[in-house]
């Protein structure tokens, strides 16, 4: 099998869910009761036999480092390869000038050093917010077979007017990419959406980065790909199982709620031989008390439930008091809900406390978000 190194961008699309990324990277946004977004990408890599992974970071990456630790929960604590965090490459002479330009170039520089030190023949680049269970080795084999310069994963999805922040990829009958554009709210119907997972030769990426830096390019798709469609051979790899990307807080809410359908859970979590790994917290089992009433909900370990919970997602260590009714809500790690509380369409970040008797409600199109460590 071809040797492959994985590179994950941890801060990509941070501004899509600014509420959740104020204190953390997109990669470490909590999702689905016990996961962080990066767990899906990491698990996909590990389950596809890719055990050398670089995680590119720009800022706010403390929570990410805390989550990844040594990488042993993904079997990525290795003598050779394993997981490496690639922090921004800031020299003593930087930071006084135009910081945006500097950071971008410097991030690139730190990546170049990592990539040139790798021994693998191929490299797979992935965003951190690709919620799917995908066999990447299949994609790599497809890339080797089609002999193209870059292969990009796409999925056919239905675009509505309010879908933004995604890229539409158009390709010909051979799968060769002929156009890449942003969804603008005007184009609707079934389109191939860029999943932001790409495979290429490592040497090819090196050359691209050098070229991009020489030309002052900043966007991979709009500059590197769009400007070279005629001269280079870029292909699509079609993926058609479950995929969710997060483009807004409402999206985040809906994607979590998706997990209440067994088909989404089956195609994400119950794929044979492809479990999703995450940091182990050694929580105790969840304890359901007498008189509690829990329906249609996905619940992690370490919870203690006295009240009513419906259509909700409970992360590890959540406590729900007596006579409390939680509906259509997402309660993150260690949220503490008192007695006689009523919540509807609420997202609580970590360590939120809701005191006795509080009544809070949002709407599914606009969930009510409560920031980390808030006491209501």
Partner 1 sequence: MIKKKECVAMLLAGGQGSRLYLLTQRVAKPAVSFGSKYRIIDFTLSNCINSGIDTVGVLTQYQPLALNEYIGNGQPWDLDRTFGGVMVLPPYQGQKRADWYKGTANAIYQNLHFLDKYDPDYVVVLSGDHIYKMDYSAMVDYHKRMGAACTIAVIDVPLSEASRFGIMNTYEDNRVYEFEEKPKQPKSTKASMGVYVFSKKELYKYLIADEADENSEKDFGKNIIPAMLGAGEKLYAYPFTGYWKDVGTIDSLWEANMDLLGDRPALNLNNSSWRIFARHSSNPPHFLGNGATVENSLVTGGCEIYGTVINSVLSSGVKVAKGAVVKDSVIMRDCVISENAEVNYCIMDSDTVVGVNAKVGEPMELGKGISLIGFGLDIKAGTVIPGGVKADEAFLAELEGSTEEV
* Spatial contact of 350 and 364, defined as CB atoms under 8 Å apart: no
- Decide: is 290 part of the binding site for partner 1 (CB under 8 A): yes
- Decide: is 297 part of the binding site for partner 1 (CB under 8 A): yes
Burial class (CB in 10 A: 0-12, 13-18, 19+), 313: buried
Residues in contact with partner 1, shown as a per-residue x/- string from 168 to 207 under the rule CB under 8 A: ----------------------------------------
Nearest to 365 by CA among 345, 349, 347: 345
Q: Which of 149, 304, 351, 371 binds partner 1 (CB under 8 A)?
A: 304
Between CA 106 and CA 146 the distance in angstroms is 33
Q: Which is nearer to partner 1, 230 or 290 (CB)?
A: 290
Give the torsion sign (CA, 171, 104, 132, 273): positive
Q: Which is nearer to partner 1, 165 or 286 (CB)?
A: 286
- Decide: is 286 part of the binding site for partner 1 (CB under 8 A): yes
Q: How far is the CB of 269 from partner 1 (least distance, A)?
A: 4
Q: Which is nearer to partner 1, 222 or 265 (CB)?
A: 265
- Decide: is 294 part of the binding site for partner 1 (CB under 8 A): yes
Between CA 300 and CA 291 the distance in angstroms is 20
Among the candidate windows 142-150, 212-220, 227-235, 275-283, which touches partner 1 by CB under 8 A?
A: 275-283
Between CA 205 and CA 144 the distance in angstroms is 15
- Decide: is 284 part of the binding site for partner 1 (CB under 8 A): yes
- Decide: is 283 part of the binding site for partner 1 (CB under 8 A): yes
Residues in contact with partner 1, shown as a per-residue x/- string from 247 to 266 under the rule CB under 8 A: -------------x-x--x-
Q: Which of 114, 204, 288, 368 binds partner 1 (CB under 8 A)?
A: 288
Q: Which is nearer to partner 1, 146 or 283 (CB)?
A: 283
Q: Which of 101, 287, 373, 375 binds partner 1 (CB under 8 A)?
A: 287
Q: How far is the CB of 246 from partner 1 (least distance, A)?
A: 18
What are the phi and psi torsion angles at 337 (to 5°)?
Answer: -110, 125
- Decide: is 276 part of the binding site for partner 1 (CB under 8 A): yes
Strand partners, 82: 52
Q: How far is the CB of 299 from partner 1 (least distance, A)?
A: 6
The neighbour count for residue 114, using CB atoms within 10 Å, is: 16
Nearest to 191 by CA among 158, 223, 224: 158
Instruction: Kindly calculate the radius of gyration of the chain based on its CA atoms and give it in whole angstroms.
Output: 22
Q: Which is nearer to partner 1, 105 or 264 (CB)?
A: 264
Instruction: Please provide the DSSP assignment of 191-207 as one string.
Output: EEEEEEEEEEEHHHHHH
- Decide: is 302 part of the binding site for partner 1 (CB under 8 A): yes
The neighbour count for residue 199, using CB atoms within 10 Å, is: 26
Q: How far is the CB of 268 from partner 1 (least distance, A)?
A: 8
* Spatial contact of 309 and 295, defined as CB atoms under 8 Å apart: yes
Pairing relationship of beta strands 30-31 and 4-9 according to DSSP bridges: unpaired
Pairing relationship of beta strands 122-127 and 189-201 according to DSSP bridges: antiparallel
Q: Which is nearer to partner 1, 11 or 312 (CB)?
A: 312
Between CA 58 and CA 11 the distance in angstroms is 6
- Decide: is 273 part of the binding site for partner 1 (CB under 8 A): no
* Spatial contact of 242 and 267, defined as CB atoms under 8 Å apart: yes
Q: How far is the CB of 138 from partner 1 (least distance, A)?
A: 21
- Decide: is 289 part of the binding site for partner 1 (CB under 8 A): yes
Torsion of CA 324, 327, 332, 333, to 10 degrees: 40
The neighbour count for residue 211, using CB atoms within 10 Å, is: 13
- Decide: is 241 part of the binding site for partner 1 (CB under 8 A): no
- Decide: is 339 part of the binding site for partner 1 (CB under 8 A): no
Identify the residue whose tokens are 């088909």: 263
- Decide: is 360 part of the binding site for partner 1 (CB under 8 A): no
- Decide: is 75 part of the binding site for partner 1 (CB under 8 A): no
Q: Which of 21, 27, 28, 34 binds partner 1 (CB under 8 A)?
A: 34
Q: Which residues bind partner 1 (CB under 8 A)?
A: 32-34, 72, 260, 262, 265, 268-270, 275-278, 280, 282-302, 304
């Amino acid at each position: 099998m071809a040797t492959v190194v994985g590179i994950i961008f941890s801060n990509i699309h941070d501004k899509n869910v600014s509420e959740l990324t104020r204190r953390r990277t997109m990669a470490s946004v909590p999702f689905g009761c016990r996961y962080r977004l990066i767990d899906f990408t990491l698990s996909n890599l590990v389950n596809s036999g890719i055990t050398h992974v670089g995680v590119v970071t720009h800022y706010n990456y403390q929570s990410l480092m805390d989550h990844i630790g040594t990488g042993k929960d993904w079997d990525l604590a290795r003598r050779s390869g394993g997981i490496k965090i690639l922090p921004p490459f800031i020299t003593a002479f930087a930071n006084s000038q135009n910081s945006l330009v500097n950071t971008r170039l410097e991030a690139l520089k730190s990546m170049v050093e990592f990539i040139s030190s790798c021994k693998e023949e191929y490299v797979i680049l992935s965003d951190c917010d690709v919620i799917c269970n995908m066999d990447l080795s299949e994609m790599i084999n497809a890339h080797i077979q089609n002999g193209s310069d870059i292969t990009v994963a796409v999925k056919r999805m239905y675009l509505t007017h309010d879908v933004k922040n995604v890229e539409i990829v158009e390709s010909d009958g051979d799968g060769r990419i002929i156009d890449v554009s942003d969804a603008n709210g005007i184009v609707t119907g079934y389109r191939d959406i860029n999943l932001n997972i790409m495979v290429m030769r490592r040497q090819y990426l090196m050359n691209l980065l050098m070229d991009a830096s020489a030309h002052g390019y900043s966007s991979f798709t709009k500059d590197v790909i769009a400007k070279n469609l005629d001269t280079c051979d870029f292909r699509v790899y079609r993926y058609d199982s479950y995929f969710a990307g997060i483009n807004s807080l409402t999206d985040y809410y809906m994607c979590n709620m998706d997990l209440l359908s067994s088909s989404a859970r089956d195609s994400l979590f119950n794929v044979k031989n492809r479990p999703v790994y995450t940091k182990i917290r050694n929580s105790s089992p969840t304890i359901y008390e007498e008189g509690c009433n829990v329906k249609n909900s996905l619940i992690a370990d370490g919870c203690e439930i006295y009240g009513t919970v419906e259509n909700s997602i409970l992360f590890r260590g959540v406590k729900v008091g007596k006579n409390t009714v939680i509906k259509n809500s997402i309660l993150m790690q260690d949220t503490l809900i008192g007695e006689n509380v009523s919540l509807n369409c609420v997202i609580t970040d970590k360590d939120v406390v809701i005191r006795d008797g509080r009544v809070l409600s949002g709407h599914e199109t606009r969930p009510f978000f409560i920031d980390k460590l808030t006491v209501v």
